[in-house]
Structure 1
Amino acid sequence: MTANKYTLTYFESPGRAETIRLALSAVGADFKDVRVKPEEWPKMKESTPQGHLPTLDVEYPNGKKKTFHQSNALYRFVAREHGLYGDDNIDMTMVDVVMGTVDDIFSEIIKWFLEQDETKKAEIKAELGKTVIPKFVKYFADIKGDKEWMVGSKLTIADIATFNLFDQLPVTFGDEIIESYRNNESLQAHAKAVLKNKGIQKWLEDHPKPKKSGKRMAATKYTITYFDSPGRAETTRLALSAAGVEFNDVRVTPEEWQKMKQDMPQGQLPIMEVEFAGGRKTTFCQSGAMYRFVGREHGLYGDTNEDMTMVDVVMGTLEDIFYELIKVFMEKDETKKAEIKAELGKTVIPKFVKYLANIKSDKEWMVGSKLTIADIAVFSLFDQLPVMFGEEIIEAYRNNESLQAHAKTVLTNKGIRKWIDTRPKPKKPE
């Protein structure tokens, strides 16, 4: 008999689709694994059942087609279709007990995602590792007992869901969150038994576990609000452009600003409004927080903790330059202002050019082996300085071959090139 054809559609993450992917892999079912990018989701959300993913398109051997949604329904469908739901009503009910227990854990975890206060968020995470996860580890171990499998005498969707839960948790929360699971001999033996399935083993080998990110739902819509200038918003604008992400670029006039200032977080611009794939919205202020969010969200923050720290070193160096620049704008005496500006070009900027060149060294990029927000921010700074202070201010930068080569490399990014070619032309401050 010809097998069903499957198309599973979800975001570029394990999430609520991974148990289904693993189940299909476990039975050797051939399926299309469609990954939806954040920028694609808003266009298709309206036509998706209940406006949610995942969905599972099934084409039966007789040509009939059906689309299912709701992740719990999807993995139960696959389990029933392919013998992963137990052999009798007792087994099936015990499978449902395990799946309900997995859902209870997600109900606890969701509290962390929904909490906005960082202090409370840290408390929730600590409680998860200290009492919540250990409690559920005991529940699972009690259900499994001294058997090889969670239910019955063969692999079921309950085994796959349990394995997947503890495989995913460290990605978001770190390895310490599952210490009690790692220390439970029975559940460790269970994980090894699940991994003996060749289909599951191959899926995991072909689809490496994502690095820890702490991400919430993928961001899909951005609105950046700032004045009609590059300023402290430009690194974020360039980063989004580099990642190929469309955004609303709202430019506020001085007259508009006076009316809206009291309603702004911390009474400042820029701000960045983000709408996530699930419909949740949040607003960020603080330019450094904004470009770091974009960097993490779109792979522009380095691949390792060392890389991320070096990105922060570069960003901190640029902040030091801004502190020097701000002295010009704060000084009211025109003679002293001219002296500060002269000193910038003569000693301050050359000093920082040397610092940045030393960090870059003989590499192509400032950090690691690919574009990061560090590269974008360095480029943006020296792109803006002549607008504010004239070309002479960046003479040391123009004469540094390494940093000139770096600028040309940054400009090879098509998104950055397009933004620079089409953005409003910055005006020199009066």
Structure 2
Amino acid sequence: MASSYKLTYFPTQGRAESIRFLFSYAGVEFEDVRILHEDWPAFKDQTPFGFLPMLEHEGKKSHQSVAIMRYVAKQVKLAGNDDWENLEIDAIVDSIRDCASKFHPLRFETHDEKKKVLKEQLFKETLPYFLTRFEVAAKKNNGYLAVGRLTWADLYFVAGLPSLKHFTEIDIIKEYKTLAELRTKVLESPGIKKWLENQPRIQLTWANFYWATIAPVFDEVTGIDTLIANYPELQAAKYRVNPFTVLKKWIELDIKTLHLCDQLVVFEQVDANICEKMAPAYKLIYFNYTGLAEISRFLMKYGGIDFEDCRFKTEEWPQLKPKFSFGEVPVLEHKGKVVGQSIAIARYLAKQVKLVGNDDWENLEIDAIVDTINDLRLKFWPWWYEEDEAKKNVIVENIKKDNLPYYLPRLEEIVKKNKGYLALGRLTWADFYWATIAEIFDEITGIDTLANYPELKALRERVNSLPAIKKWIEVRPKDDS
């Protein structure tokens, strides 16, 4: 009998391994489909957004690795027992991705001296900073990263360790006893242990290794990429060796596979001086901007949830930053607990106001769309940190030329198929996220980014015209300039 789940990815661990861990841990049969890199161009159009991994189940497809993992975790009972526990887990997992993004400058830096400085900062400051906090969190949670028991956050953490070891050339958690014990518990669980013993391996010969070491010489001498333009098979053969060779010192690995670091939220009371204590059960803390907090404000206003909208000025941030566990906002405070991560907070609030799916697969569809919109948002991220105006202009032009034309037509078609919404044919929190994020695209590019996408524009206007949202937009504080 064929398994009901099919997971498709490249023949590496990467972003699919944590999902494979979940299936294997629970003993759930799944079809592990692996696409060779040379076959990817022909296969790409069969995926929802041209990305892997992809999960198929009962004739339906979904993408976005973390969204898939959240769905599978619910099926195998490694999620939270209530909405707040799931918020705690989501905040941890989302923070893993945040930390991974801190390695992106190293990936794109071409200047050797600058790369050396970036590496020193990452290895001497970033990893110790996070791992020390992981260790503390694991001790507080009975040896796990959240809610005092094994969850999918722990499998996500452990599944990412081999990728980081490739990059750092060391066992980074060796000196962190509780984290090392967590890794052992996960890897020694019967299902995962069996998976690691029997998982597929790519068969390589010494000829493959020889080609992988010689090919870069051609590029160095000629000053061009000698393979990528006209010789895709040779290019694929070169990169197929990289994840497997033990000569890691000589290979720069793709930082996309880096999924270890975690900005774990250590739950603590935020300093009362940030804003006055008031009656509402929820307190949302952020800059005096719409930004990443606006989705949560929209959701609470829509659902009639009374909340304390705590805002501070940009110049106050240096003094306030140390008061937050990982120096990031927005954060949501509720009944003495504090959690960060804007999307995790929004997902939790969406459950409270009934803007989520009716079952786990519907929630996977929503999560996949939200993560896809966030992927597009992150294309704008370098613009915020670039100080050189000429370089900022180049970033914007590349976004207008490459990223917007890739994402917006696909999102437009999805809205058409879903009766004017982004998922499930009805209003969900994905639509709220779109309405709040789309404003940022116009502000940065200086154009009406949705001028040629009437469905997406109408959706944004539909959300903004909801009575509670319309009223909020009319009275909300103006952003600091």
Larger relative contact order (Cα-Cα within 8 Å, sequence gap ≥ 6): 2
Q: Larger Cα Rg: Structure 1 or Structure 2?
A: 1
TM-score (norm 2): 0.43
